[in-house]
Copies of this chain bind each other. A is one copy, B any other.
C-alpha cells in the first residue's frame, strides 16, 4: 500500500498481541506508549450513542496529557451500559499498575461488535503482557491489531525540521467503511516527537481531520467509537510549536498529509470498493455550498453504483448536485471526468465524450470535477464505488 519507509518518532514504544478476541491467532490488542507524558489532543465521534472507551478517554485527553493508549479490536464495548463503563475503567487501572503511570494518563479505545461485554478475563491477562513486551519497532503490528474488516494495515509518516531538529510524525488508522456496522469504525492515532503546545495540537488535529476523515465516505454511517488522537512528547528537542511559531505551518501540513494518506487508504479499503474517486467541486457560491455538493455526489448510491458499472452517467451527478442544498444554476454546470469534459453549460457533450470518459472510469483512481460556475467556492471529497461485495460483506457480516 504505502511503500514509503515508516519513520518512528523518538521516545515511543509499541506492542501488539493476539489475545484471542479474533479468531485464528490474529493480532487484536495494541499498546502505544510514550516514555514521558506527552501533550495530546483528540477528536471523538459525534454520534449520541457513545461507546464506553470514548466516554472514559475523551475527558482524560481534554486535560492535555497522555502517556499510553490501549486499543483492542473485535469488541467495541458499545451499548454495554454501566458494566461496559466499569470495564473500560478497569482496563485503564490494570494498565496503570503494569506501567506504573497514573490512570489519568491512559486512553482506551475499542472497535468491533456492538452490544457484547468485554471478556475481562482475557483483558486482565493480556494487558500486563502488552506492557512487558513494549519495544521500538512494532507500530505496524499495532496498525494490524486494530483492524476489523480492513484488508491491510494503514500507516503513514512524515518528517519536518523545526529549529534545526528533525521531528517525526507517525500515524496509524483503521476503518473500511466510514463505519462498519455493529463494528465501531474509524480509529486513528498519531504520535510525534515534536514539542507542540496542547492548544495548537488540538487546533492542528481538528483542521487535519476536517480535511481528511471528514471528507471521505464509504457508506455515510458514523460510528459509536470513532476516535482520532495525537500525542506529542517533545523528544525531538525543538522549541515548543504553537500558533504563529515558525514551524507551525510545516507541522500542520505534515499532520494533514498523514491524515489524508490514512483517509484515502480507508476509502481504498472500503468494504467491497474497487475504486477511489475524488469528487472536486469548483466554482460554488462559497465553500460551504461546495462541501454540500461534494458530499451529496460522494454519498449518492446511484453515483457510486454507476462508478462500479463504469458508466459515465453524468445525469446522476447533476441530480445529486441539484438536491444537495447548494446554490446551483444548471445552465452553468460543467462536469469533467479527470480532464475529459462531459457537460458544458448543463448540457451533455455527446457520445464521443462518453466513450473517452468511460476509459477514465476504468481506472482505479480518478477525479470527477463539477464546476458550478457561480463563484470561488471549492471543496473535495473522496468516495468509493458501491459494489456487490459491499452488499455481501454487510449482509453477511454477523452470520
Footprint of B on A, CB under 8 Å?
46-50, 78-81, 113-116, 177, 179-182, 219-224, 300-302, 305-306, 308-309, 311, 313-316, 318-323, 326-328, 330-331, 333, 343, 345-348, 386-388, 390-392, 394-399
Question: B79 touching A348 by the CB < 8 A rule?
Answer: yes
Question: B394 touching A391 by the CB < 8 A rule?
Answer: no
Residue in contact with A311 in the complex, picked from B80, B302, B399, CB distance below 8 Å: B399
- Bound form: Cα–Cα A316–B323 in Å: 26
Question: A330 touching B179 by the CB < 8 A rule?
Answer: no
- How far is the CB of A372 from the nearest CB of chain B, in Å? 10
Question: B347 touching A81 by the CB < 8 A rule?
Answer: yes
Q: Kindly report which residue of chain B lies nearest to residue A342, judged by CB atoms.
A: B115
- Bound form: Cα–Cα A138–B97 in Å: 81
A-B contact pairs, 28 of them (CB 8 A): A46-B323, A47-B322, A48-B323, A49-B321, A49-B330, A114-B318, A114-B319, A115-B347, A115-B348, A116-B348, A179-B302, A179-B319, A180-B302, A181-B313, A182-B314, A219-B300, A220-B300, A220-B301, A221-B300, A221-B323, A222-B319, A301-B301, A301-B390, A302-B394, A309-B399, A311-B396, A311-B398, A313-B398
- Bound form: Cα–Cα A316–B348 in Å: 40
Question: B49 touching A328 by the CB < 8 A rule?
Answer: yes
Question: B301 touching A81 by the CB < 8 A rule?
Answer: no
- How far is the CB of A66 from the nearest CB of chain B, in Å? 26
Copies of this protein in the complex: 2
Question: A79 touching B330 by the CB < 8 A rule?
Answer: yes
| A395 contact set on B, CB distance < 8 A | 305-306, 308-309, 311
- How far is the CB of A174 from the nearest CB of chain B, in Å? 17
Q: Kindly report which residue of chain B lies nearest to residue A322, judged by CB atoms.
A: B49
- Bound form: Cα–Cα A80–B343 in Å: 11
Residue in contact with A345 in the complex, picked from B81, B115, B179, B321, CB distance below 8 Å: B81
- How far is the CB of A77 from the nearest CB of chain B, in Å? 12
Question: A391 touching B387 by the CB < 8 A rule?
Answer: yes
Question: A301 touching B47 by the CB < 8 A rule?
Answer: no
